[in-house]
Amino acid sequence: MRTLRYVVAAVVFSVTLSTQLPAGAEQAERERYRPRAGATFNGPGDYEINDKVLRAIRHTQRGQKIRVMTWNFTSWTFVRALREAHERGVSVRLIMARSVANEQVAGGPYVTLKRELKKQDRRQDRRQDMRSWFHTCENSCRGVGGSMHAKTYLFSKTGAQRKVVMSSSANLTGSAATNQYNDMYTINGSKRAYNRAIKVFNQAGRDRPADPMVYKSGPVRGWFQPRNGRTDVVMNMLDQVRCHGARGAGIKGRTSIRIAQDVIVGKRGIKIAHMLRDLNQRDCNIRIVYSQMGGKVWRLLRWIPSNHLVQDRDGDGAYDIYLHMKAMAISGRWDGRRDARVVYQGSENWSGLAKLSDEQGLVIERDGVERAYAARINKLFGIHLPSARLLPRAQQAANPYVNMER
């Protein structure tokens, strides 16, 4: 039944976005199109993020490049859009996790698009740098363990906009729109951000260990893992928080921390939980929205206001609707400032595995961005989803999180 819902949703999505513009209007629209910079959010049944990526693909023209890193790829809508982009002379390259790719049937989206890109390349006389392909990595592409877990969408030029970087928690899947709460942050026209992301993509394509990558572009600091034992971005940010003395930010002089995190588990999750518990005891104003916590993590955080944002719609014991974001908004006293507003976002769960994996993210010091993320997390904090009555135990899934990350 879940598969049928996905197929129907994908068809509706495809039909909606394939409506033809009047003669002459399509070219004009293509020439002025620019993806909106900044934050984009979606909830289950909301295609804001998928739509934004799809439109950027469809506005990328001959001679340009599309580069994608996605842990999972299951969308026939994106198969068609990327194949059509390649056919009109765009260089299309994707990287995904091999373990997930191997789970697909022979005629699945990954195998189909890989075959189509390879077939079309044989038919076209292209420079080496304009060839298209679809690669996978057994573990992390730029490390020796973990997995390829990034969700990065790069466009050399789409419509009138050059050098577009999209950093997201959403994979190129139908379930990213129909079953998950996700976020994405778009950077337009930053040569530094684009070039660093392209360098990481090229390193990943070679599937050999490479050093962590960081960069700064205005109010944005970008980071790429594996970290190889280096500074933990989340812990470093939390270590700079002071709970009292906020002015012009925070809540009544207290620093506000808003967290929307899919997974907090393992030794790393426990360390982060200890830091959050200590900050809560120091009177920081904290709210947490999550999907999965380890037992000790939950015990450490049980006195902090939180919302387990999941839903089992059919009673099979597995969650169908769930939070998939990996974001944090801090407002108040941080990094020596009393009026700081900063956002952390990206692809990594708060686990030890994430530090070994290909992950990407941003730390954004911009008032409007923090306000947008804090407002979004506050909204998610207030959503409580009822689950269906459980089926008999023999019909229940052994793991309630079995459908997550799809």
Interval 362-378 mean pLDDT = 98
Interval 217-228 mean pLDDT = 93
* Domain 220-395 CATH superfamily: Endonuclease Chain A (3.30.870.10)
State the CATH architecture for 31-210: 2-Layer Sandwich (3.30)
C-alpha torsion angle, residues 294, 297, 302, 306 (rounded to 10)? -70
**Residue 121 pLDDT > 70, yes or no?**
no
Q: What is the DSSP secondary structure assignment for residue 130, as one 8-state letter? A: G
Interval 350-360 mean pLDDT = 95
Is the fold of 31-210 the same as that of 220-395?
yes
Token duo for residue 86: 């390649």
User: Which range (59-63, 210-214, 331-335) has the least confidence?
Assistant: 210-214
The residues spanned by each domain of the chain are 31-210, 220-395
Q: Cis bond leading into 392, ω under 30°?
A: no
pLDDT, tens digit, 9 for 90 and up, residues 29-48: 667 899 999 999 999 999 99
Q: What is the DSSP secondary structure assignment for residue 110, as one 8-state letter? A: H
pLDDT of residue 124: 65
Interval 132-151 mean pLDDT = 96
> Which distant-in-sequence residues (6+ apart) come within 8 Å of 323 by Cβ?
180, 181, 260, 261, 262, 289, 290, 291, 309, 310, 380
CA distance 175 to 25: 32
pLDDT, tens digit, 9 for 90 and up, residues 271-309: 999 999 999 999 999 999 999 999 999 999 999 999 999
Which contiguous run of DSSP H or E holds residue 266? helix 266-281
- Going 191 to 195 to 196 to 201, the CA torsion angle's sign is positive
Question: Three-class SS of residue 255?
Answer: coil
**Residue 25 pLDDT > 80, yes or no?**
no
Q: What is the DSSP secondary structure assignment for residue 385, as one 8-state letter? A: P
Q: What is the DSSP secondary structure assignment for residue 147, as one 8-state letter? A: -
Please count the other Cβ atoms lying within 10 Å of the Cβ belonging to residue 195.
14
pLDDT more than 70, % of the chain: 91
pLDDT tier at 128, thresholds 50, 70, 90: confident
**Secondary structure tally for the chain: helices H, strands E:** 13, 18
Which contiguous run of DSSP H or E holds residue 181? strand 180-188
Q: Exposed/middle/buried for 385, CB within 10 Å: 0-12, 13-18, 19+?
A: middle
Give yes or no for a contact between 47 and 178, defined as CB atoms under 8 angstroms apart: no
Question: Three-class SS of residue 141?
Answer: coil
b/e per residue 264-286 (b: at least 16 CB within 10 A): bbbebbbbbbbbbbebbeeebbb
